[in-house]
Structures are given as C-alpha cells and as structure tokens.
Amino acid sequence: MQVPIVKGFFEKRTYSVQYVLADPKTRHCAIVDPVLDFDANAGATATWSADELLSHVRAQGFTLQWILETHPHADHLSAAGYLKDTTGAPTAIGEKVIAVQKLWKSIYNLPDGFRADGSQWDRLFADSETFHIDELAVRVLLTPGHTPASVTYVAGDAAFIHDTLFMPDYGSARADFPGGDAVQLWHSIRRILALPDATRLFTGHDYMPGGREPRWESTVALQKSENKHLRQATTEAAFVALRHDLDAKLPMPKLLLQALQVNIAGGRLPPAEANGKRYLKVPLDVFPGTVWPS
C-alpha cells in the first residue's frame, strides 16, 4: 500500500486542520481544506494560513496539483478560491455540494444569478470515484451526516475524514446543521471504520479536551477501540440518540452564517459593490430554538 506524505497545519482560531498530501515518489501534492483567515469583529480577511501551506509546498519542492474540499465548512471560510487564483491548481469537492448550495441559497435568499450547480469548482467527485495526484491514487467516499456533501479522501494508507470522527477523546461530529443527519453520520462512520485497521485517519478539527496540545491523526484501530462516542453508543439507535442529545445543547458555530455563503461559492467572497467594498449577508432568526452561547 502506498504511504503518502501528510503534513497537518492547525489553525488555532477555528480549531481547523489543513493538510498537504503528497506523492513521495513524484513530489506532486494536494492541499486539503485550506482556511481563509477571518476576524468577524473587524470584518477583516487575510491569507496567512493559506500562504503557510504554499510556503511548505515550495520548501518541499512539491508541485501543487489539486485543491480539495471535504465539504462546505460551517466554522471557517475556505481559501480554495484564493489558492486557485494564486496557483492555477484546480479545485474539487463532492458532487452532493449542489444540494447544499440549493439549501443555503434559499436561506440566504441569494439572487437567481447565483448558480447552485457546483460550477464554482473545477471538478465534482462522485461516490467511489478515483482520481490521481500524479501516481498516487485517491478514492472518494461519500460520507454524509455532518453535511449532505461530506466526502472522505482515501490515499494509500491515509484517509481524510473531515467532520465525522474527531480524536478518540472528543468523539464524533455534530449532525444538526441544515441537511445534517445522525443516521447518515453513523453509517458514514461505519464505512470509514471498514478501512484497514492501520489506515491513518486525519480529522478536520481538534478541540483539545482537557487543555492538551492539538492532535489530528489517529487510526481505524484506535478509533474502534477508544472513540468515546463509539464506546458509549454501540448501535445505530444508541448513537443517533446520543448525537441528538449532544447536538440539542450546542450553540451554532460562531462563523456559520458568514462562512457558508463564501464556502458554497467555492471559497469566493461576495463580489464588490458599487463602492468597491464586499459585504457578507447575515440572515436573522433562521434557526428557531437556537442555543445561545454561555
């Protein structure tokens, strides 16, 4: 089995993990889930995190071949558009992103000119499709539940599992966003855990329970034996009940309403208006019963 080079980059403001995935033989690579830095208080954007990825690519002598998204993120703005403009590398995401676009187009009341057809990315991947980072084969697994569009990328002994499972001491991802589904999440987790036990699993976030240092790599075997939610809930019904109970107590992510309108557009900020400024649109009171942060 191929053993690709994987380097994770932890973004401390949103607890997100970005990755550079490389073919060790040919030195071609992909960037997975890049973050566009955003200060909601100031409405300021920056490209420090994405530029760090590019610096690593250059320092390692890699050739960037793909910019990959596992799903439209609700907790950070995507830097896919910036990286596309900077490098020319194609962007890609799972084909079910179209369903997410249609859902959020309605929530934001976006104009007819917004295309909910996935055309903001260069490639839309189908379930079980295989593509290549030069000689490194990458298989796409549809793993919905957190969002309808979530996919896992499996490259050799490495799998990028986005927001399905976190590190074993934190558990699993929420499934209560629009389009989320705890039953689907359970089956997606089972699909991931059907991979060989030695498969390295790279998660999309780490929330550092107990104040420990951030971590983002586990294995199938470790998740099977130690994941706190899978140990608590060993059946579909028990997991769904657990997830519903946990999700009912969670406030919405701080950047959800800012992030989704950028991320369903392929990581593109809204176009500038007549005064040359860009504006994010925040719909009010669209989530009845929202848990307020303490």
The verdict on residue 279 lying in a domain is no
Amino acid letter at 79? A
pLDDT in tens, 139-197: 999 999 999 999 999 999 999 999 999 999 999 999 999 999 999 999 999 999 999 99
- Going across the sheet that includes 130-133, the strands are 130-133, 136-142, 151-155, 158-162, 200-203, 217-219
The answer on pLDDT for 32 being more than 90 is yes
Q: What is the mean pLDDT of residues 105-127?
A: 96
Q: What domain range is 59 assigned to?
A: 5-263
Q: Count CA atoms within 13 Å of residue 61 on its CB side.
A: 4
- Residue 285 confidence (pLDDT) above 90: yes
Name 145's Cβ contacts closer than 8 Å, sequence gap at least 6: 164, 173, 175, 180, 181, 182, 183, 184, 185, 186, 187, 188, 189
* CA atoms of 84 and 268, how far apart (whole Å): 10
| Inside any domain, residue 282 | no
Q: Identify the sign of the CA torsion 173, 174, 178, 180.
A: positive
pLDDT of residue 277: 96
| Residue 201 β-bridge partners | 159, 218
Q: Is residue 17 part of a domain?
A: yes
**Residue 125 within a domain:** yes
Assess contact for 117 and 141: CB atoms under 8 A: no
pLDDT tens, 203-217?
999 999 999 999 999
Can you read off the two tokens belonging to residue 67? 């910019």
Instruction: Kindly state whether residue 268 falls inside one of the protein's structural domains.
Output: no
Q: Which H or E run includes 192?
A: helix 182-193
Domain count, the chain: 1
Euclidean distance between CA atoms 109 and 119, whole angstroms: 19
- 232: domain CATH number is 3.60.15.10
Whether residue 293 is contained in a domain is answered as no
Supply the pTM of this predicted model.
0.97
**Is 94 within a domain?**
yes
Which H or E run contains 172?
A: none
Domain assignment of residue 269, yes or no: no
Q: Please, what is the angle between helix 97-108 and helix 256-263, to 10°? A: 120
Residue identified by tokens 């990028």 is 160
